[in-house]
Amino acid sequence: MTACDGIALVIPVCDPDEDRFPTLVRRLRADFAHIVVVDDGSARGRAAFDDVRGDVDAVLIHENNRGKGAALRTAFAWVRENLPRMVGVVTVDGDGQHDPEDVRRVAEELARETNGGLVLGVRSFAGDVPFRSRLGNFWTRGLFRLITGLSVSDTQTGLRGIPAALLPRLLAIPGDRYEYEIRMLADARRHPAPPREVSVRTIYLDGNAASHYRPLRDTFRTQLALWSTLFNRK
C-alpha cells in the first residue's frame, strides 16, 4: 500500500487530444487506483474517453460545456458518494501540463499531513512561459494576497490536493468556470490550515494552445470573483 492509494484523481477536460490524453491517464494509472474523468461538453476528441474507460473509475459527462468549476463539482460529488474512504482528491488538468511525477508528489504531501489544508502544485514561471500566463499570475498573486491575506505563489495552478473533509464546503462554492478555482483558493483563509506548496515543473505544450482559458472574459470573471470574497463572511 502506498500514500497514493487513498487519493482519487479528478480530471476535468474538454476536447481532449486523442493521443496525449489517453497516454496521460495511463501514466497516472500506474500510481493511482482511482481516477475520475469529467467530459465537459466536448465537441472534439470524444474517442479519447472511450479509450480510457477501462483505466478509470468513471467518465462523467456534461452534455453541454458548463465550465471547469461545474466539472470539478460534478467529480467531487461523485467521489463523495462512491469513494467515501478516500483521504482526499487531487485535481489534474487534462491538457498534459502536469507531469505525473509532480501529481504523485502532491498526492503524497496531501496524504502525509492531514491538517485540513489544501496542497498546491506551484510553478516557478521561469523559462519559456507564455507572456499572458506570466503576467496573469503576477497580477492575480498580488491582488490575492491583498484581499485574502494569504501568500500563494501560483494562484492559477490546477494541480491541487484537497482533503476529503473539505469537499462538502467546496461543493457549496459558486462559479461554473475558472472563477470557481480562485474562489476555492480564497476560501482557504477559513480552512483549518493554510495551503502548503509543492514545487512542480512548468510545462506548456504548443504555447499553451490547448488551453480553453479566454484571456479577457475569464480574467474579468476571475478578478470579479476574487473581489467578491471581500463581502463573503461565511
Q: What is the pLDDT of residue 207?
A: 47
Domains in the chain: ranges and CATH: 3-231 (3.90.550.10)
The pLDDT of residue 206 is 52
DSSP structural state of residue 96: S
What is the predicted pLDDT for the residue at 177? 87
Residue among 73, 19, 16 at smallest CA distance from 41: 16
- pLDDT for the residue numbered 135: 55
Measured in whole angstroms, how far is the alpha carbon of residue 147 from the centre of its chain? 22
Nine-digit cell string for 89: 482528491
Q: Specify the pLDDT at position 208.
A: 46
Cα–Cα distance, 185 to 39 (Å, whole number) = 23
The series of mean pLDDT values per 10 residues for the chain, 234 residues long, is 88 96 96 97 97 98 97 98 96 92 96 89 70 60 87 92 97 92 93 95 60 60 70 59
pTM, two decimals, is: 0.87
Looking at residue 127, its pLDDT comes to 55
From the DSSP assignment, how many helices (H) and strands (E) are in the chain? 8, 7
Given this model, what pLDDT does residue 140 score? 76
